[in-house]
Amino acid sequence: MELSSPNARIFCPAGGAPLEALRATRQLGVVAHADDLEIAAIKGILDAYDAPTPSFTGVVVCDGAGAARQGGSPAAVNEVRREREREQERAAELGRYAAVVFLAHPSASVRSGEPAVGVDLTQVLAETSADVVYTHSPLDAHDTHVAVVMELLEVLRRLPLERRPARVVGCEVWRDLDWLPEPHRVALDVGAQRELQGELLRAFSSQVGGKRYDLAALGRRQAHATFRHADRPDETAGVVFGVDLAPLLVPEAPSVEQFVLDLIETFKLDAGARVRRLAQARQR
């Protein structure tokens, strides 16, 4: 497999052949940055953790150089990139991943839809046999995150039907999805392995040093588990919300923009109907 970026590479924690690791993949995460996997794709990581053969693979699309301080020298920017890769490698070892694919594209190239990004994603997906793909939500508040899911959807649409994953879920990172009405959100049980989840997030010391993503992500999962239902005890210690992206893969699929607007309209109608019903009850 020849990836387009000179910095692209595939890391296999167990030291095996990259193509063998990709072909053993059953749970796949496709995200923008190092440390996004451990937030958006934690369900896949946990589901594969105890598998006899490592079966979770993560794809990190961007090179992470944008995290460098403004005005940094090329050497400093490159060191930031390498540091984030080393942290991602450490998380892959902790989480028993089959592989991490570093595509190493600049964020600007991803946002502008450079063809090389789609070509590389197509190559990776052609070598995997993932049943489930976890990626960003198209409702995310981060431009690069949304650009990644848009590119991924285009690649998936081009795959033959028999090569497509059975399920594609867009998960929350830079915007919660608890506001989606119950029928329109996917609730992923991530109550297991709480200590491991914390270790995975803390592997990214360059990130959690200034922003406590570890505490925030774990707290959000616990909060979703508690506030998901008002009328029953907590069923798990953690929930991640996602949105089913399968409707975007059918032949007559709406555009990503229309899909997002339809979800927002659904929320608007749900919230309006509740207030209207209660207002009418008060007038009797």
The per-residue pLDDT for range 47-103, each reduced to its tens digit, is 999 999 999 999 999 998 765 444 566 777 788 889 999 999 999 999 999 999 999
214 vs 200: CA distance, rounded Å: 8
Q: What is the pLDDT of residue 77?
A: 77
Residue 68 is predicted with a pLDDT of 47
Which three-class secondary structure state does DSSP give residue 277? helix
Q: What is the CATH number assigned to the segment(s) 9-253?
A: 3.40.50.10320
Q: pLDDT tens-digit profile of 101-129?
A: 999 999 999 999 999 999 999 999 999 98
C-alpha to C-alpha distance for 64 and 32, rounded to whole angstroms: 9
User: According to the model, what pLDDT value does residue 163 have?
Assistant: 87
Q: Residue 237 class from Cβ within 10 Å (0-12 exposed, 13-18 middle, 19+ buried)?
A: middle
pTM of the model: 0.94
Q: Residue with structure tokens 């848009």?
A: 150
| Residue numbers in the chain where pLDDT is lower than 50 | 68-70
Residue-level pLDDT at 72: 60
Q: What is the pLDDT of residue 209?
A: 86
Residue extents of the structural domains in the chain: 9-253, 259-284
Helices and strands (H, E) in the chain, number of each type: 11, 8
Alpha helices for 54-161 (secondary structure H): 74-95, 107-111, 115-127, 143-158
